[in-house]
Each structure stands twice: as C-alpha cells, then as structure tokens.
Amino acid sequence: MSFFTRLLRSPEGAFGMIILAALVLVALLAPILFPGDPLRIAGPALLPPFSDPALPLGTDRLGRDVLAGLMHGARTSLTVGIAAALMAIVLGALVGTAAGFAGGLIDEALMRVVDAFQIVPSFLLALAIVSVVGPSLPVVIAAIALGAWADPARLTRAQVLSIRERDYVAAAEVIGMHPLEIALKQVLPNALPPVLALTSVIVAAAILTEAALSFLGLGDPNVVTWGSMIAEGRNVIRSAAFLSIAPGLALVVTVIGVYLFSEALSRVIAGGRARP
C-alpha cells in the first residue's frame, strides 16, 4: 500500500488533505480571478456581503474587495508557512546532525545554542526581530524560522545519536568515507522522516504567527494578509462584523486542516517505521 493511500485511509488525513488542496487551489486561482492589486479600491466602502454580484463578500472601510483579499491572503499564508517551515527544518536538521555526529564540545556548544532559542517564546522572538529590522515578507519568514528551528534540531540530534552506532555507519568509516560524507549521505537521510513530521506543525504555527504580527501592524504593508484584514475589521466590528469573521474563519479552517494532516502524517510515518 502506497504512502498516500495509507494517508487517505485515515479520516484526519483525508479531511486535512481536502482542506489543504482547497487552500492551494484558492491561492493558485487568486491572480487569475482577481488580477492586479487586491489592495486597490473596488467599490463603495462597507458594502455588505451578497449585495453586489461583482463583490460577493462586500468591501472594507476603504472599498477594497474582501473576497480578493481572502484569496490573495491565502497566497501570503502559504508562502510564509511553507518557506518558514523549510528554513526551520533545513537549519534544524543541519545543526542537529552536526551536534549528534560530532559529539563532544561541538555537541555541547550547539545544544546550548538550541537551549537559548527554546527559552525564548517563538512569537516574542519574531516580534522582536521584525520590530528591529522592519516589517517585510522575507524578514517575517526569517523571524518565524529562527523561532522554530530548535525543535527539529533537537529531534534530529536524537535520531543521529541512535543511527551513528549502526553497522552501516561503521562500515562506511572502515572503507574510508569522509565524516562529512557519512553524516550527509548515510546518517541524515535516515534521521529525517520523524523530523519531517514536524513540518505541518511548523507551517500551522508560522501561519498563526504571521497573522498575529500582521494584526499588530508588523506585517508587510505591501501585501494583503488575513491578520491585517482582521485588524482592519476590528474598528467596525459592531456594524460590519463580516470584515473580521471572514478572514478569521479562513485562518481557523487552514490551521485545523494543517493539524489534521500533521496528525495523520505522524501516524503513517510511525506505522511505517514500526514495520519489520
């Protein structure tokens, strides 16, 4: 049975993949259905939903199309979530492999750095970095990744400590392979599967962190985000609650989908590793 078949047989996996597939489809269709700048004025201000076929979800206080903002916001959320997760996994895997394979003082030094990053809450670290450097999408992605790489590093180190004692690693050392080549070609690929299970969790956390930063006014002002849409709607929450409800629901559904997919992925990976 293939990996994706086992993933789809899980209710959590199937439901999570449906949500994520819909999110990806929305993100891909956004520039086709709503070309141009989603922050431009599209109609009268505070137009209620379903009152104009051309603006099905209405407009905000400045007359911007809410549906266009939601669809383009999905692109921003996916970009931030996936890019931050990849950066965190790559950095964590490299640091964890170096620490676990080298051992000794290198291991101690790298693990103290990991401890230092784990002490600081990831959101506060991202908040501090963005506040100092300035709000832009690359800075937000890097700030979120710096707050998320410590857990993959610690998990990778634990896997490497177990794998480096196996016979095929000893055989590679006997035939004269360079330690760096052994670490990257023999040890790291076998240590990655449990670490990759963290990817979905990091993606969900990154989406939430980006939304929180945008809500506080520390997101990229040149792109539309769900967090900034929620912040825009809070000023008229009594008269136009839909401005905050629509992006809020999109954010909740996205995070639920990512967490369901992550749960199913963890089970499938654990089941595969448990097989003889």
Separation between Cα atoms, residue 230 and residue 245, nearest integer Å: 8
Whether the per-residue pLDDT at 54 is higher than 50: the answer is: yes
The residue-averaged pLDDT of 42-68 equals 92
Report pLDDT for 1. 52
Tell me the per-residue pLDDT of 123-157, one tens digit each, with 9 for 90 and over.
Answer: 999 999 999 998 899 999 999 999 999 999 999 99
Span 59-64, mean pLDDT?
92
What's the pTM? 0.89
Domain count, the chain: 1
The whole-number pLDDT of residue 180 equals: 84
What percentage of the chain has pLDDT greater than the value 90? 61
Residue 231 · residue 215 · CB < 8 Å: yes
Lowest pLDDT segment from 45-49, 111-115, 155-159, 163-167: 163-167
How high is the pLDDT of residue 2? 67
For 104-148, the DSSP string reads HHHHHHHHHHHHHHHHS-HHHHHHHHHHHH---HHHHHHHHHHTT
Instruction: Summarize the confidence of residues 101-121 as an average pLDDT.
Output: 92
CATH number of domain containing 224? 1.10.3720.10
Residues 57 and 87: beta-carbon distance below 8 Å:
no
Q: How large is the average pLDDT for residues 81-97?
A: 94
- Residue 45 is part of which domain span? 3-274
End-to-end CA gap in the chain: 15
Q: Tell me the C-alpha distance between 267 and 116, whole Å.
A: 31
